Amino acid sequence: MDRRRFIQQISLSVVTVAVTATGCKNTQVAHVLNESDRDMVGSHTAGAETWEPLIQSSVGQLLAREQNSVTLTSHSGEPCKKRICFLHVDNRSSEEIGDFGDQIYQKIDTIVNASDAFELVNIRAVKAGLQQAGLRPDDLYTPNSRRKFAAIMEQEREPIDYVLYATITSGTTRSNNKDYQRDYLLTLELVNFETGKTEKESAEIRKGYHKSRLGKLRNYGKS
């Protein structure tokens, strides 16, 4: 083999390796998670591993506590579920929650409607009623606004027994080595539409963020 041909083959091999390496770097793969698979832990912000247990805990405890004090019969004496107007998810944390906002709403919707005592009023009807009344969600804390909104919803055959607010907050603790802990709090407020009485339930998850695996060991040991 002459020298020129040898050099050409070496050059071709180098190009092939470079192209292959670049292809591997830019390739993304995915797989479908089974029910037994753990949720992926977000490295920079909260994800499914944070919101799912917060929702399950706060909604379950609130509905279980309130269910003991409601009468599940209509004025005619027939069995009926109490109707909840779930307004929105208010994010007051230091993070943008992105598409998790809608997912949190849908998950709460599913849990409420699966209960024996409660059901959610259709969100489209709620938004239309608020627009017609010229009200914002927070306006329903006042009796006059609740009465105005209730009258409109009654006309639309969408009676309301409760209003539900969901609020996300967070608190951040930073260390000198740029690692930090963030505490996520999901708070639910269930307001009796007639009396204005408020029941509140919260759930919290603490999460550590680290620049490296050593950061976890340094701050939390082997846990």
Res 13: pLDDT: 56
Kindly state whether residue 11 falls inside one of the protein's structural domains. Answer: no
For residue 81, what are the contacts with CB-CB under 8 A and spacing of at least 6? 72, 115, 116, 117, 118, 119
Kindly state whether residue 141 falls inside one of the protein's structural domains. Answer: yes
Kindly state whether residue 115 falls inside one of the protein's structural domains. Answer: yes
3-state secondary structure 154-194: HHCCCCCCEEEEEEEEEEEEECCCCCEEEEEEEEEEEEECC
> In which order are the strands placed within the sheet that holds 118-120?
118-120, 82-91, 162-174, 180-192, 198-209
Burial class (CB in 10 A: 0-12, 13-18, 19+), 63: buried
Q: Is the model's pLDDT at 164 over the cut of 90?
A: yes
CATH of the domain at 73: 3.40.50.10610
Res 128: pLDDT: 93
Q: How confident is the model at residue 210 (pLDDT cuts 50, 70, 90)?
A: confident
Kindly state whether residue 14 falls inside one of the protein's structural domains. Answer: no
Res 28: pLDDT: 73
Q: How confident is the model at residue 78 (pLDDT cuts 50, 70, 90)?
A: low
What domain range is 75 assigned to? Answer: 48-220
Kindly state whether residue 202 falls inside one of the protein's structural domains. Answer: yes
Kindly state whether residue 4 falls inside one of the protein's structural domains. Answer: no
Kindly state whether residue 25 falls inside one of the protein's structural domains. Answer: no
CB neighbours of residue 99 within 10 Å:
7
Number of domains in the chain: 1
Kindly state whether residue 212 falls inside one of the protein's structural domains. Answer: yes
